[in-house]
A = this chain, B = another copy of it.
């Protein structure tokens, strides 16, 4: 039953395939309707397999949900982790913003899944938010604070700055439908994606960099 039986039972490529198929379909449906609003049959339909078969791979609806969540969680936080205290803030934060925009463009459903989960009170990932996420954010806030102390970026609340980056970038995936209604363009569209990325990066960098064009301190 348990995957990984060390040597032999390799979870049979077919198993690997179907699990993946289910997870992909689940991401689509869960990201749209949230946990409670999602019906197993929908996932089955989207994944193109019978509900019975789907339940053969995941005993419970909640199991699928948690699996999807876990699968994208690490990758989701990666860009923030990548911010280096030793780098130049313009470069580091600029890269972070671009990475987040890239993700909004290439994985909008993941963003919406988290949005949905948070909206519903984060019942499944609350421990992650208050644990690893908080730790990571606090750590990077210190990095920002350090840059501020050195005068490399303007003095402001580092936490709020992080929230602003999250908000502006994720907005393009979470509210994609609204933006589509207003502009007729979607973040999925690569061209619009880079246009949005540039806008956000420009606005935020200008907002956080000191007014007097900071002399190169090399």
> Which of the residues B33, B168, B181, B196 comes within 8 Å of A37, measured between beta carbons?
B33
Instruction: Check: A40 CB closer than 8 A to any chain B CB.
Output: no
Bound-state CA distance A133–B206 (Å) is 28
Q: Is the C-beta of A52 less than 8 angstroms from some C-beta in chain B?
A: no
Chain B residue at smallest Cβ distance from A212:
B211
Q: Is the interface of A mostly helix, strand, loop or mixed?
A: helix
1/0 per residue A138-172: CB within 8 Å of B? 10000000000000001011011101101110111
Q: Indicate whether A119 sits within 8 Å of B112 (C-beta atoms), given known contacts A37-B33, A168-B168.
A: yes
What residues of B have a CB within 8 angstroms of the CB of A31 in the complex? 119
* Chain B CB within 10 A, most for which of A159, A161, A168, A170: A168
B118 and A178 contacting across the interface, CB-CB below 8 Å:
yes
Known A33-B36, A137-B182; further 17 A-B contacts with Cβ < 8 A: A34-B119, A116-B119, A122-B178, A126-B181, A129-B177, A130-B182, A138-B182, A157-B195, A160-B195, A160-B196, A163-B168, A163-B172, A163-B179, A164-B168, A164-B203, A205-B207, A207-B208
A19 within 8 A of B: no
User: Once the chains bind, are B203 and A161 in contact (CB under 8 Å)?
Assistant: yes
Chain A 104-139 per-residue mask, 1 if CB under 8 angstroms from chain B, else 0: 000000001001101111100010011001100110
